[in-house]
Amino acid sequence: KAGVTQTPRYLIKTRGQQVTLSCSPISGHRSVSWYQQTPGQGLQFLFEYFSETQRNKGNFPGRFSGRQFSNSRSEMNVSTLELGDSALYLCASSLETGRTDTQYFGPGTRLTVL
Amino acid sequence: AQSVTQLGSHVSVSEGALVLLRCNYSSSVPPYLFWYVQYPNQGLQLLLKYTTGATLVKGINGFEAEFKKSETSFHLTKPSAHMSDAAEYFCAVSERSGTYKYIFGTGTRLKVLA
């Protein structure tokens, strides 16, 4: 079974621009979560989607948004980019949203904001 | 709210020596705990998880962890370190906030010396 895929793997943007990142979950998985990883803050939860609905949201400004499609693929969007948005963005998928459900991570998209 | 503390942001061991990575959690309910490993420029890979039942959990690549409720700990061990174990290791707890989400520790970077 193919793993979680994320595109693009690397991205360079300038301040003020917007960016869209894509995540394709493992086949059959209905839950997709997004995390931001930075050296200073570590792994921080952005949001989770399940059956096209946002089920949970972390403490990030409204510039960060996402959506999930009927095939469970997900996108996240960051508008009006700031230097501090430079990070590795990780997507994880799981079968359901239960407490014991294992999250499987993709390789991430490394975003650099200049 | 639940939280995870990983003691030691950097740990160095000699090849063949015991690996011990520490994780303590805070939870008002029985915790579900996870250990992930991240190799350079890659996503996170699940090593092992504890949900219920046996408190000694065996994972991949020879790693194991023991859940100790009295000590609120879930330390990761491996009897004999290999050069390929050099990576960053993350402990996580599953927290219910709406649906379930992972709370990650700040990570421990393991260095294996020849």
Residues of chain A positioned with their CB less than 8 A from the CB of B103: 45
Mean pLDDT value across residues A88-105? 84
State yes or no: pLDDT of B84 exceeds 80.
Answer: yes
Can you tell me which residue has the tokens 């998880």? Answer: B49
Q: How much is the CA Rg of chain A, to the nearest whole Å?
A: 13
Whole-number mean pLDDT of chain B? 91
Percent of chain A with pLDDT over 90: 81
Tally A–B CB contacts below 8 A: 58
Q: What share of chain B is helix, strand, coil (3-state, %, to 5)?
A: 5, 55, 40
Q: How much is the CA Rg of chain B, to the nearest whole Å?
A: 14
Residues of chain B positioned with their CB less than 8 A from the CB of A109: none
Residue of B nearest to A91 (CA): B43
Residue of B nearest to A106 (CA): B43
Residues of chain B positioned with their CB less than 8 A from the CB of A47: none
Mean pLDDT value across residues B6-20? 96
Helix or strand or coil: residue B60? helix
State yes or no: pLDDT of A80 exceeds 70.
Answer: yes
> Min CA distance, A83 vs chain B (Å)?
21
Whole-number mean pLDDT of chain A? 93
Residue of B nearest to A46 (CA): B101
How far does chain B reach from its first CA to its final CA, in angstroms? 41
